[in-house]
Structure 1
Amino acid sequence: MTALFLARLSLNLTHRDVQRDLGDAKQLHTTIMRLLPDNMGADPRKQANLLFRVEDGPTGTTVLAQATQPLHLDRLPAGYATAELKDITALLRTIRAGTAVRYRIDLNPTKTERPDSPGDTTEPGPPKRPRGTRRALSGAAADAWWRQRAAANGLDVHTMHPTTPAWPPHQNKKDAIRFSLYRYEGTGIVTNAEHLGATLTAGLGRAKPYGAGLLSLLPGQTR
C-alpha cells in the first residue's frame, strides 16, 4: 500500500515570508515544494503526489500538505510555522464501499469549450481538432462538476456546502497565477474504495500545484 503523510503548518502571520507566500500563489508553491526529498526526478510534485490546502480558522491560518514521501519540515524558514507531520497511511485501509464519510476539498472547476468549426484544413489529412478555451465554472455548474467528478472517483455525494475560500489572493501582477477555488464540504458514501483511495493519494482536478485537489475524509459508520 502507498504510504501517505500529512503535514500541518500553523503559520506565523507576523513572519515576513508567510506574508509574502499568502499574497502570491507562486511563492507559496515554491515554499511547499522545498519540503520534498531531493532527487525526485523531473516532476517532483507529481512524483511525490504533493498536494496542499490553505485553511483560515478562528486560531489563524493553516496549510495542510500531503505527500507519498515524508516531508522535510526542517526546511521551512526559521519561525515560519509550528509544524507537525503524521503518517496517515492507515486512512487508506479504512475506506471501504458503503462507508459514510465527511469530506472537504478545494477545487478549480473548469470546462473546455471548443468552436464548432473544424481546425486548420490547409495541411493534408483529416482536419485537426480546434484548440479549446478553458472556462471557470461557478454556481450550479461548479456544483454539478464536483458531484460528477466525485461519482467517477468512488464517492456518492449526499450533501455539499460550497464556499469561496480566501485563498488564492487576487493579484494584479503581470506574471501572477490566476485561478479561482471552490471549497466543498459535506457528506457522502464510498462506492468504490480503490478509485477513492487513488483520488485521496493523487488529488482531483486542476491547479494542484497551487492549493487545489487535496481531498480530506473523516470516515463514519458503515451502512
Structure 2
Amino acid sequence: MPYLSKIALNPRRRAAISLLSSPHRLHAAILAGLAVQPVTERVLWRLENNNPSRAEVLVLTESRPSWAHLVDDAGWPGADGGDPLIADYTPLLERIARGREFGFRLTANPVQSVARPTRPSEQQAARLKEGADNGNRPRGFRVAHRTVPQQLQWLLKRCERHGFAIPDATATPPAPGLKPAGADDLDLSAGPAVTVVSHDILRFSKGKAGPRVTLSTATFEGRLRVTDPDALRATLLGGIGPAKGYGQGLLTLAPLRPTEDAGRG
C-alpha cells in the first residue's frame, strides 16, 4: 500500500540546514524512515518549498514510514503543526479514470542524450579521453535542457507514454466592446496548459569524498487529462525522468479549482 507523506523541517536547526543543502544527505535521511533495510522499494520525494521559516518535503513510499528521526533532529518535535502527515495513496489511484482532468505539479531533471557535449565537464572530458585512448566510443552523455521552451518540450514529448495529455489552455476572452475589429474568429487557445514555475541548478557532493553532482531542475504546474489510467498510475508510483534519488520525478495531482473547471467548458 503506497503512502504520501509531508514532513515539515525547521531551516533554523543545524541538522535541517545540512539536509536542505544536499539532496544526497536528504535522500539518505528519507530512506532511514523505512523499517526494511536495505531499502529496495521505490521511493520518490520532492522538496515542496524551502524558505527561511519552513521547508516541507513530500515523500511517496510503498510501505508505511516513520519520520520521528527527521522531526526530532530537524523539525519541531511536539509543536502544533510539526507532526508529519502520512496519507494512504490508494484512494487517489482509484480515482484515476480515462478523460478525467487534474491539476498537477512536477519537479524533474529534463535532459537529453548526446554523443559529445558542447562544453564537457571535467568528468565528461575524462570519459571522452578514456574512450579515445582505448579506441572505444563512450556511451551517450546526459545534457540538461536549460531553457524554458526546451524544458516544456521535454515534458510534452513524454506525456503519452506516461498516460496523460496536457490540453490547451483557454485565454480569457476580451470584455464586450474591446474585441479587435475583424476578430470574430479570435483563437482563444493559449497553448498547452502547463508552465515552468521555477528552475534551479543544484550542486552537491556524493558524500565527503564523493564526486560533485550538478542537476538542472524545472518545476512544472498545469492541467492534465488522463488518457491511459494504468500508465498514469504507474507514473505516479514510479516517477518521470532521471535523478529520482535526488528529489526529481515525483508527479502529484490535485482536484481542479472551480475556475479551472469553468474554463474547460
TM-score by length of 1: 0.82
Higher Rg: 2
1:210 aligns with 2:246: yes
- Structure 1 CA distance, aligned partners of 2:56 and 2:19? 12
The range that moved more, 28-37 or 190-199, is 28-37
Quickly say closer, same or farther: Cα 1:61–1:152, change in 2 above 3 A.
same
The alpha carbon displacement at 1:31 in A equals 0.9
Aligned to 1:99: 100
What do you get for the CA RMSD once the two structures are aligned? 2.7
Aligned to 1:140: 149
2:237 to 177, 183, 201: 201
1:162 aligns with 2:156: no
1:71 aligns with 2:65: yes
What stretches of structure 1 of length at least 5 have no aligned partner?
Answer: 121-126
The alpha carbon displacement at 1:33 in A equals 1.1
After superposition, the C-alpha distances for 1:155-214 in whole angstroms (9 at most, x for unaligned) are 101311103356x64448973321121000000110000000000011111010010011
After superposition, the C-alpha distances for 1:85-128 in whole angstroms (9 at most, x for unaligned) are 1112110000000001100000101111126xxxx8xxxxxx98
Aligned to 1:16: 14
The alpha carbon displacement at 1:14 in A equals 1.4
Aligned length: 206
What stretches of structure 2 of length at least 5 have no aligned partner?
Answer: 76-81, 117-130, 168-192
- Structure 2 CA distance, aligned partners of 1:9 and 1:132? 37
- Structure 2 CA distance, aligned partners of 1:113 and 1:5? 37
Q: Equivalent residue of 2:49, what SS?
A: strand
Task: Name the aligned partner's letter for residue 141 of structure 1.
Answer: Q
Q: Equivalent residue of 1:70, what SS?
A: coil
The range that moved more, 192-201 or 152-161, is 152-161
Quote the sequence identity (%): 26
1:26 to 20, 24, 27: 24
1:109 aligns with 2:101: no
- Structure 1 CA distance, aligned partners of 2:50 and 2:13? 18
Q: Equivalent residue of 2:156, what SS?
A: helix
- Structure 2 CA distance, aligned partners of 1:193 and 1:87? 19
- Structure 1 CA distance, aligned partners of 2:50 and 2:14? 20
After superposition, the C-alpha distances for 1:68-90 in whole angstroms (9 at most, x for unaligned) are 11111123251522212111211
Task: Name the aligned partner's letter for residue 213 of structure 1.
Answer: G
Quickly say closer, same or farther: Cα 1:77–1:10, change in 2 above 3 A.
closer
After superposition, the C-alpha distances for 1:120-146 in whole angstroms (9 at most, x for unaligned) are 8xxxxxx98752121101221221110
TM-score by length of 2: 0.70
Aligned structure 1 segments of 4 or more residues deviating by more than 4 angstroms: 127-130, 171-174, 220-223
1:36 aligns with 2:45: no
Q: Equivalent residue of 2:159, what SS?
A: helix
